[in-house]
């Protein structure tokens, strides 16, 4: 199959990318301990995948409070900044670009992961279903503590400092994680936001924190180096909203004021696709680029681009097992299958040991 659209040059913000294949953020839980510091193993992993036109880093906690999983990296200490600097240097040496995904998990955490063992924070004191991945194994989620109104400006400041640290670490831009049931998504959706102050109730109030975060981050980076990830229909981490179309149409219209590089939209999780949501309408409302995410293959990605339904396609799981995914797609080569047993935690197995096409074709 010909991939004329997928392999065409395109502008993303003020960057010119050689093709339209983006590496989606992928939590792999392999940071050095103690300190959640990116290490040499992570350098190898990202450098291998610098075949992507743009890499969006794994979700990275903006503060100790923002942590929700064992062994995930941060961007709030000097050691973490220096660890990430090795990664950005390695990616740039291979000619690719990399954005850092800024992450605060909110209620999707556990007191054992929090400083001084305090409860996780959230818009409202509602626990998600399921369990947290801690250093002692899986533990049931707890009822979080609802943030006081006067604490929210401090959360915004955490994002701003993290954006500054990302610049110091040599990233090309940042993506604000407002999807998948984490803190900003919790404020956006009425299934998790039951507040009665200026951050709850109306659409205007529920988008307020996300807009304040984007404003703060855009004071560090120009808007054309900032993106945001959204999951309008996502139910992961016990999420729901009574009218996601109105909510996200309103949000992206507000985001237009910041001239962002892109919205990165999770259109589905696995095989679940909510056809009641009009993603095309969301794209029409937004002035920047639209990165589509959600189980795309080379064929469906080419069709989406060709039908003008998206500007770029983010691939997740295929990049885990195919470090040279763009080359494999271009040549029509077979893709390696990813092993779910090695997705989270561990060492190089299932992380940096997947072969490239060149290695597979090399004579024994």
Active site (catalytic) residues: 182
- Report CA 143 to chain centroid distance, whole Å: 25
Helix, strand, coil proportions of the chain in percent (round to 5)?
35, 20, 45
- β pairing state of 137-140 and 289-293: unpaired
257: left (phi over 0), alpha (psi -120 to 50) or beta: alpha
- β pairing state of 226-230 and 173-178: parallel
Contact 258, 223 (CB under 8 A): yes
Residue 137 pairs in a beta bridge with 134
Query: Which of 74, 95, 39 lies closest to 165 in space, CA to CA?
Result: 74
Taking CA atoms, 329 is separated from 10, 51, 315, in Å, by: 18, 12, 12
**Token pair for 52:** 């992507």
Residue 312 pairs in a beta bridge with 291
Query: Which of 301, 266, 277, 310 lies closest to 101 in space, CA to CA?
Result: 266
Burial of 111 (C-beta count, 10 Å sphere; 0-12/13-18/19+)? middle
Q: In the 8-state DSSP scheme, what is residue 363?
A: -
Contact 126, 142 (CB under 8 A): no
């Amino acid at each position: 199959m010909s991939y004329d659209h997928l392999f065409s040059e395109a502008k993303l913000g003020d960057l010119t990318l050689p093709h339209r294949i983006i590496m989606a953020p992928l939590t792999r839980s392999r940071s050095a301990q103690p300190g959640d510091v990116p290490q040499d193993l992570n350098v190898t992993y990202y450098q291998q995948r610098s075949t992507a036109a743009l890499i969006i880093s794994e979700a990275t906690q903006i503060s100790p409070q923002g942590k929700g999983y064992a062994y995930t990296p941060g961007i709030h200490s000097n050691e973490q900044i220096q660890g990430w600097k090795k990664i950005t240097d390695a990616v740039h040496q291979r000619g690719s670009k990399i954005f850092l995904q800024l992450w605060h998990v909110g209620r999707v955490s556990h007191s054992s992961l929090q400083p001084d063992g305090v409860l996780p924070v959230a818009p409202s004191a509602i626990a998600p279903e399921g369990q947290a991945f801690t250093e002692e194994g899986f533990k049931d989620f707890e009822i979080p503590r609802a943030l006081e109104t006067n604490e929210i400006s401090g959360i915004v400041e955490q994002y701003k400092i993290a954006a500054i640290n990302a610049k110091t670490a040599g990233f090309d831009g940042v993506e604000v994680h407002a999807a998948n049931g984490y803190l900003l998504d919790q404020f956006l959706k009425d299934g998790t936001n039951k507040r009665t102050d200026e951050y709850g109730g109306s659409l205007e109030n529920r988008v307020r924190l996300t807009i304040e975060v984007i404003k703060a981050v855009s004071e560090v980076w120009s808007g054309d180096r900032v993106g945001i990830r959204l999951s309008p229909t996502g139910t992961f981490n016990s999420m729901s909203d009574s009218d996601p179309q109105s909510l996200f149409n309103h949000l992206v219209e507000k985001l237009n004021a910041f001239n962002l590089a892109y919205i990165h939209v999770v259109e589905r999780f696995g095989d679940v696709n909510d056809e009641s949501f009009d993603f095309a309408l969301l794209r029409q409302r937004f002035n920047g680029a639209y990165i589509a995410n959600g189980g795309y293959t080379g064929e469906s990605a080419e069709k989406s681009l060709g039908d003008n339904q998206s500007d770029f396609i983010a691939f997740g799981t295929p990049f885990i097992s195919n470090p040279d995914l763009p080359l494999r797609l271009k040549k029509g080569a077979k893709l390696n299958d990813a092993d779910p047993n090695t997705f989270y935690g561990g060492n190089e197995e299932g992380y940096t040991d997947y072969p490239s096409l060149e290695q597979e074709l090399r004579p024994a």
